[in-house]
Structure formats: C-alpha cells, structure tokens
Structure 1
C-alpha cells in the first residue's frame, strides 16, 4: 500500500530546434521533500527526501 503525495517543484528546461524537424532538449527539475524523520522509510512513515531530476531528450516534429 503506497500513499500518493503532491509536492511542489521547480523546473528549468531548454529546447533547441535542429534541421530536418529534429530537436534536442534538456530539463532540470528540483522536487521539494517533506518531513524530517530519517527512520520513516523503514517504518512506514511519510519522510520523502529532496530530489533533483535531470533529463535529456531528442524529438522529431511531424
């Protein structure tokens, strides 16, 4: 059983258009954690750490 959590985040992204309908993109996303109880992950608590996600993408536009 898992709980759904809604957390605030900030994101910064950039997309660059290439020839032949291609594009490349990069995005950094920082998600704010909740709670300070370090034992919570082991005892079913609600602690969630801060997270930093980095993503790189390649797209084709048609």
Structure 2
C-alpha cells in the first residue's frame, strides 16, 4: 500500500489502502483480541460489505 504509485490520485485516494488496512485491524481487534466486543453477525456483515479485508484478517489470525 505504501509503495503503490500515486499517479493522478488525490491525497485522500492515495492513502485509502492504508486506511483500509487500519480499519481491518480494528475490526480484527474487536472480534478476536477483545473477545467478542462485537457480535458475530456484525463481524460477518463488515466482511461481506468490504469494511474489512478478509484475507488480512485470516493472515493475522493464523500468525
């Protein structure tokens, strides 16, 4: 995300992948590390709607 080219993108558009990683980590933290601060239904909804990156969460969960 940091090494991606920023050609013809606004500053906010260039930083979006970094914010997406941050948002994914926040949802992962709420569901797995804080032991179910959010419900399973909300977690699945966030994954289905694209608010969190499913592949990143799987990587963090296994590591």
Which of the pair has more CA radius of gyration? 1
TM-score (norm 2): 0.23
Larger strand fraction of residues = 1
Larger helix fraction of residues = 2
TM-score (norm 1): 0.23
